[in-house]
Each structure stands twice: as C-alpha cells, then as structure tokens.
Amino acid sequence: MSAARQFIKQAIQRLGYDVQRVASDPDEAMGRDPFADMKRLLGAKPGPVILDVGANVGQSVGMFKQVFPTSTIHSFEPSPSTFRELQKNVSGRNGVFAWNCALGAVNETREL
C-alpha cells in the first residue's frame, strides 16, 4: 500500500471509520446492506412473510415493501402509544398487519 493511501486510511480510522474495497463477488459483500442480503438469500421466491419485531412506528415497512413488494409483513410493537403511530403509518398498505404485542420465548404478560 502506498504511503499516501496508508496516511488517508489512518486519518479516516482516527475519525472512527474504516475504509474497505468493495467486493465484486456478491457473496463477499454480505453484511453491508441487510435488505440486499435478505433479497440475495431469498432469491426469486415470491411473497415472503416478514416479521418486523419491535416495529416502532414502521420505519422498516417501506423498505421491506420496496425490496419485497409482494410480501406479507407482520409488525409487532408492544408500546400502546408507539403502536398507535405504527397503525397510522401502515394503515392502507397491502399485506401489512400491525400487532400491539411483544414476541418472546415465553407466553406471559409483562408490564412495559
């Protein structure tokens, strides 16, 4: 690596960033874009079912629908006030269902 490249890389690392060459092989590029990774792993399978756990106000729904337009999305949000915002944000979207509950390994009721 040239001295100039090394200097630039070190300067960028001091700012808390890392510089890496983009892989030309898609399998080596895994981990850079989660939506691209999901699309690559699912291939051409139509209509995946997506569980959006901890949906908050539905920020991910738009991206999921862009990448997987025929998907069915179940968005889970346990907070009543946040759930109301989620409902507003996803109402009228085809294949999107909002659930006011949390998901966990045990069937129980907890205070949030």
User: Which pLDDT does position 27 carry in this prediction?
Assistant: 61
Number of neighbouring beta carbons within 10 Å of residue 86: 25
pTM (predicted TM-score): 0.73
Q: pLDDT tens digits for 48-77?
A: 999 999 999 999 999 999 999 999 999 999
pLDDT in tens, 36-53: 888 888 887 889 999 999
Lowest mean pLDDT among 28-32, 45-49, 59-63, 83-87: 28-32
Q: What is the mean pLDDT of the chain?
A: 89
